[in-house]
Structure 1
């Protein structure tokens, strides 16, 4: 059976752990040559080692996406060099979540979160899209969040950045779709890292009570959605945000 992404290349930001790691492993498992990127060399090397051990192609490129155009362009250039001169699939996954409320958020934190979560993917996309268009097509997958559309008491800053990314998804689909680049997004729900201590309740678990799934999700569910959006199976899908959240945002939650 042919692999769905055979011969394609992919850059996944923030892919040294959790959701990004699962996406990198899933894309590589379908034949893509992936660039794993992030700030932690050791964790990046571990992801690359796992992918290669399973027969996939992967390389690590260290990146600290601080929101400056220079940092995004540097990653775009390095990844392009590693991936045989082209990036077919870009996954804008890297993001930070400060545990602060609106009254406790200072200007430095505000600028840092918007820099990492919005400015960095904006300028990375800006750097890579022209080559995708020149090559005849490409795929961009953004990561949103369920709290971009369902308010929670803590997380206004983070949720606003994810709302921005979902809006950019639709705007970029309109801008780049007619030129061969498909743009879509994935909106994860409560996802628990496999590294989380199973003996300790995850603080987000209570938010899944009463949902159709009734539990938190695993990062691999996001990886599977990314494979679909990156592959030709979704060739007619543009500007869509796929909710992978156990029904948290789409179904009325009954208190139990």
Structure 2
């Protein structure tokens, strides 16, 4: 089966930097019309310019998914308007990776993480999956984390939100799979991004615990997402593909 995505439209949340930009770039190279999404218009337009400069089709749709349900519903409406049709591929990548002990977790940090990591994907799927189901095809890929599979110090809220997203992946696969919509997830390990730079040496130390023994490049995560979004994964439903250097295998 082909990895070609010509004629499809993909919405990638949180795609103005890091893993999201890598995903947008990979999908555009494979022929998808990519809707780049993020809070920063200048960064979004730069990503779109790069994709178009490389011969791809791309547009920017601004959204702050920290607004939860309302922001997600608004984004869904504007994304479909920008595409001029329904969305074929949804990648729920945007996330807030707050790290703090439970007793010191700020309320606004907790709320932002839940709104962005869990509420927004839930309502984006609710707004976009029905049109996919009506068309009889579509793919949703949720970007989760190994932090949602085992406990890491200080990552209780982030990990809980990603664990919930993994459960929703299975639930949505059961709900929409019979209508031709495939829903899967990637569970990501330590990856070199502007956001993860805040972890400093701890990022490398965490990566060293895995068989691969190194930090991932965002393009490696993007390749896995592109596979799950493509026809090459036509019989894959409700799966959580570990892209963590083998960390959850040991």
**Which residue does the alignment assign to 2:247?**
248
Aligned equivalents of 2:211, 2:49: Cα separation in 1: 36
Larger radius of gyration: 1
**Which residue does the alignment assign to 1:224?**
223
**Which residue does the alignment assign to 2:8?**
8
**Which residue does the alignment assign to 2:131?**
131
Q: 1:17-63, CA deviations, whole angstroms, 9 ceiling, x for partnerless residues?
A: 00011000000010000000000011101111111111100000100
Residue 172 of structure 1, CA deviation:
0.5
Could you say which structure has the higher helix fraction? Answer: 2
Aligned residues: 248
Aligned equivalents of 1:203, 1:14: Cα separation in 2: 24
Q: 1:47-83, CA deviations, whole angstroms, 9 ceiling, x for partnerless residues?
A: 1111111110000010011243221111111110111
Say whether the 8 Å CA contact 1:23–1:220 is kept in structure 2: yes
**Which residue does the alignment assign to 1:161?**
161
The answer to whether residue 235 in structure 2 is matched with residue 239 in structure 1 is no
Residue 203 of structure 1, CA deviation:
2.5
What RMSD in Å do the two structures reach over aligned CA positions? 1.7
Aligned equivalents of 2:106, 2:211: Cα separation in 1: 37
**Which residue does the alignment assign to 2:171?**
171
The answer to whether residue 193 in structure 2 is matched with residue 184 in structure 1 is no
Q: 1:131-181, CA deviations, whole angstroms, 9 ceiling, x for partnerless residues?
A: 111112111100110111121111011000000000000010001100111
Q: 1:86-125, CA deviations, whole angstroms, 9 ceiling, x for partnerless residues?
A: 1000000101011211111143332221111100110111
Secondary structure at the counterpart of residue 23 of structure 2 = helix
Secondary structure at the counterpart of residue 60 of structure 1 = strand
Secondary structure at the counterpart of residue 166 of structure 1 = helix
Residue 249 of structure 1, CA deviation:
1.0
Aligned equivalents of 1:65, 1:210: Cα separation in 2: 32
**Which residue does the alignment assign to 2:55?**
55
Say whether the 8 Å CA contact 1:3–1:31 is kept in structure 2: no
Residue 3 of structure 1, CA deviation:
6.1
Aligned equivalents of 1:71, 1:39: Cα separation in 2: 11
**Which residue does the alignment assign to 1:19?**
19
Aligned equivalents of 1:191, 1:122: Cα separation in 2: 25
Residue 196 of structure 1, CA deviation:
7.8
Q: 1:215-246, CA deviations, whole angstroms, 9 ceiling, x for partnerless residues?
A: 11010011101110111100000000000011
Give the TM-score taking structure 2 as reference length: 0.94
Aligned equivalents of 2:3, 2:209: Cα separation in 1: 37
Give the TM-score taking structure 1 as reference length: 0.92
5+ residue gaps, structure 1:
none
The within-5 A match list for 1:173-212 is 173-193=173-193, 202-212=201-211
